[in-house]
Amino acid sequence: MADLVGNLLVAQSGGPTAVINASVAGVIQEAGRHPDQIEEIYGGLNGILGILNEDLIDLQEEKRQAIEGLKHTPAAALGTCRYKIDFKKKPEQAAREMDRLFQVFQAHNIRYFFYAGGNDSQDTAHKIHEQAIQRGHEMRIIGVPKTIDNDLPHTDHCPGYGSVIKYSATTVMEIAADVGSMATDDGSCCIIEVMGRGAGWIAAGTVLARRRPGEAPHIILVPEVPFEQDRFLAKVGETVAALRYCIVVVGEGLKNAAGEEIAADKTRLDAFGHPVLSGAAERLADIVAENLRFKTRSVKLGYAQRAAAHCASQTDVEEAAACGEAAVRAAVSGKSGFMVKLVRLQNKPYKWTTDLQALADRPAEVRCVGKGPGRKETVAARPQRRHGFGPPVVAAAILAAVEGGILPPGPNARYRWRVPALPA
């Protein structure tokens, strides 16, 4: 079974990350090491859409240097899409689309298919795997994990997550230094909105900016913990009383006790029918300004955070590439219907490896911080300790950057040599 010979197809799906191209590079580079089994290396443009449209490109013609360069290129180099082959809602169309996919697979002798994406994309990979068996088209299908949201089950953390929190935590540190250095009579508050939809991993991960007690972020609001306005305002007030400023990080999907997103615009839906989330920070800024009358500003990082290759985590790049390589190794050894996952071997120093998880094992729910929506317990300020998720690797990357000169110690308002006051 291991000596299946044919062509390879790789495609990307869902929102890009800073390192999704590194996974594609890993696939291409590893494929080149198995010339006996993998003949041609194709890329599908814009994910599953490109395969349906037979928009394939020949990646083997690309220069070695360009493939290596992918590891530091943001966005989805092959193009991406949010397109679901929907057997539940549109069974007839889905059946036609599957026919078309396998027509393309057969015509181009695609025997190896790798799909880099998040929850919806792994679901698509699983369906294609099942169809290949049903149709008797011998084929190996492996999913490559990808999402800044870090909400894929089974994997210790997702490729893409390390980079987004390195960038976001760096931004929180820089903004905190800025806001904290401005003297105001009444105090000030800055609210920074990060992505993640219903999962608070990105918001929680910005805690890496807090290297000493009292440092920002002072408040982290995650969608998994219902927003309580009174408690929030009290905490902002206490923080400003103590420090004269307060930095809040909010996940875009923050919900109230009724489970309603405080900033959801239900009149606008994305391609999967999810409501567009925007303005959580703006909404909170209004609440603070109305109730506490501090100088209040908001920042919405939006796409900038997932595209920020200029601030990517090198560990994340390496893990993303390794996931692509592992996918190819699994497939050429005969495996199909799996997703590659990252496994933490130890924390200090951080060591990791890859393993496989059957795509059939995927739970219906995404993975959230703590126990999921509706839980009453407060998410601690240091979720990486309590929940054992990925950050040691990213913390190391951030701290290395910091110690390398981003925020060196310098004179500041807590300076020790004060000039003696004049006699009264």
List residues with catalytic annotation: 149
Out of 2, 133, 177, 241, the only residue in the binding site for a copy of itself (CB under 8 A) is 177
Any contact of residue 303 with a copy of itself (CB under 8 A)? yes
Among positions 190-219, residues that touch a copy of itself (CB under 8 A) are 190, 192
Interface map 401-420 toward a copy of itself (x if CB under 8 A)? x---xxxxxxxxx-x-xxx-
Cβ atoms of 116 and 23 within 8 Å: the answer is yes
Q: What residues does 38 pair with on adjacent strands?
A: 6
CB closer to a copy of itself, 271 vs 345: 271
Q: Binding segment for a copy of itself among 150-158, 175-183, 231-239, 369-377 (CB under 8 A)?
A: 175-183
Amino acid at 191: I
Cβ atoms of 114 and 331 within 8 Å: the answer is yes
Any contact of residue 180 with a copy of itself (CB under 8 A)? yes
Any contact of residue 3 with a copy of itself (CB under 8 A)? no
Q: Is the dihedral of CA 225, 227, 233, 234 positive or negative?
A: negative
Phi-psi region of 247 (alpha: psi -120 to 50; beta: other; left: phi over 0): beta
CB closer to a copy of itself, 104 vs 356: 104
Q: Binding segment for a copy of itself among 81-89, 227-235, 329-337, 339-347 (CB under 8 A)?
A: 81-89
Give how many residues touch a copy of itself by CB under 8 A: 93
374 CB-near residues (< 8 Å, 6+ apart):
226, 259
Closest of 98, 144, 96 to residue 121, by C-alpha? 144
Give the helix/strand (H/E) hosting 400.
helix 391-401
Any contact of residue 100 with a copy of itself (CB under 8 A)? no
Any contact of residue 189 with a copy of itself (CB under 8 A)? no
Among positions 50-69, residues that touch a copy of itself (CB under 8 A) are 50, 54-59, 61-62, 65-67, 69
Rg (CA), the chain: 23
Out of 235, 282, 350, 387, the only residue in the binding site for a copy of itself (CB under 8 A) is 282
Among positions 316-355, residues that touch a copy of itself (CB under 8 A) are none
Euclidean distance between CA atoms 71 and 22, whole angstroms:
4
For the CB of residue 75, give the shortest distance to a copy of itself in the complex, in Å: 4
Closest of 351, 347, 293, 287 to residue 318, by C-alpha? 351
For the CB of residue 263, give the shortest distance to a copy of itself in the complex, in Å: 11
Closest of 90, 112, 107 to residue 41, by C-alpha? 112
Any contact of residue 86 with a copy of itself (CB under 8 A)? no
Among positions 381-400, residues that touch a copy of itself (CB under 8 A) are none
User: Which phi and psi angles does 22 have, rounded to 5°?
Assistant: -65, -35
Euclidean distance between CA atoms 410 and 260, whole angstroms:
44
Euclidean distance between CA atoms 247 and 269, whole angstroms:
30
Any contact of residue 15 with a copy of itself (CB under 8 A)? yes
Interface map 223-262 toward a copy of itself (x if CB under 8 A)? ----------------------------------------
Tokens for 24, please give them.
């594609």
Beta carbons within 10 angstroms of residue 190's beta carbon = 26
- CA angle, residues 279, 378, 316, in degrees to nearest 5: 65
Out of 6, 8, 19, 43, the only residue in the binding site for a copy of itself (CB under 8 A) is 43
Q: Binding segment for a copy of itself among 70-78, 115-123, 124-132, 332-340 (CB under 8 A)?
A: 70-78
Q: Binding segment for a copy of itself among 46-54, 90-98, 316-324, 370-378 (CB under 8 A)?
A: 46-54
Q: What residues does 397 pair with on adjacent strands?
A: none
